[in-house]
Amino acid sequence: MTLLGLLERAPSHGYDLKRDYDAYFGRGRQLPFGQVYSTLGRLARDGMVAGGDAEPGEGPDRKTYSITDAGRAEVDAWLADPVEPEPHLQTILFAKVTLALMLGKPAADYLDRQRSSHIRRMQELTRLRRDGALVDVLLADHALFHLEADLRWIDLTSARLTELAAVVNSEGAPKQ
């Protein structure tokens, strides 16, 4: 979905997509070329992207891929849908926020929805721990502390959206 979101900025070659993905979202783990092209093939099969004719020249693939209307709708739906609240989801949230800012979409609204989703899960867990056995209380506490950490990240990111948007949109890809 992140690759599809990157294509919404402008049509792109597979190589450029991989380069941008690695720069923004890779964090030291590069996306294999094979995965990029298999993903693009699957997205093309599902009507989310359209692949142009291959251009002459060096390199593994000179085909330009463009996002379709169906692909745009898919990206919009993905961005707007809160992630299932669970520990360790920062990577997905980070990708959503960064992409939303790149695409000029309402990142603050997405973060608000995520905050609501987290709070609801924390209420459920708090209710469970009220009457639960000690083992359940400890398990619920573990989840509560992780969700709380996520929420702090959400709050901090919400407060920094303007600053982040400037970085994402003006200064090019961060150094790897």
Partner 1 sequence: MNGPVVTRAHLVEARNVAKSFGQTEALRGASVAVGQGEILAVMGPSGSGKSTLLHCLAGIFTPDRGEVWFDGGRLDALSEAERTKLRRTAFGFVFQFGQLVPELTAADNVALPLLLNRVRRRAAYKTADAWLDRLGIGDKGANRTGELSGGEAQRVAVARALALGPKVIFADEPTGSLDSLTGEKVMDMLTGLAREAGSTVVIVTHDARVAAHADRVVMVRDGLVSGDLGAIGEQVSVAKAAR
Distances (CA, A) of 47 to 14, 77, 141: 17, 16, 44
Number of residues engaging partner 1 in binding (CB under 8 A): 28
Instruction: Tell me if 132 contacts partner 1 by CB under 8 A.
Output: yes
8-24 burial by CB neighbour count: b if 16+ within 10 A, else e?
beeebbbeebbbbbbeb
Instruction: Tell me if 38 contacts partner 1 by CB under 8 A.
Output: no
- Residue 175 CB, nearest distance to partner 1 (Å)? 32
Instruction: Tell me if 72 contacts partner 1 by CB under 8 A.
Output: no
- The dihedrals phi and psi of 122, each to the nearest 5 degrees, come to -65, -35
Instruction: Tell me if 115 contacts partner 1 by CB under 8 A.
Output: yes
Instruction: Tell me if 89 contacts partner 1 by CB under 8 A.
Output: no
Residues 6+ apart with CB under 8 A from 34: none
- Residue 63 CB, nearest distance to partner 1 (Å)? 40
- Identify any residues that bridge with 54 across adjacent strands, giving them in sequence order: 63
Instruction: Tell me if 160 contacts partner 1 by CB under 8 A.
Output: no
In 3D, which of 76, 97, 108 has the Cα closest to residue 168?
97
- Residue 140 CB, nearest distance to partner 1 (Å)? 6
Question: Contact positions toward partner 1, by CB under 8 A?
Answer: 86, 112, 115-116, 118-128, 130, 132, 136, 139-140, 142-144, 147-148, 151, 155, 159
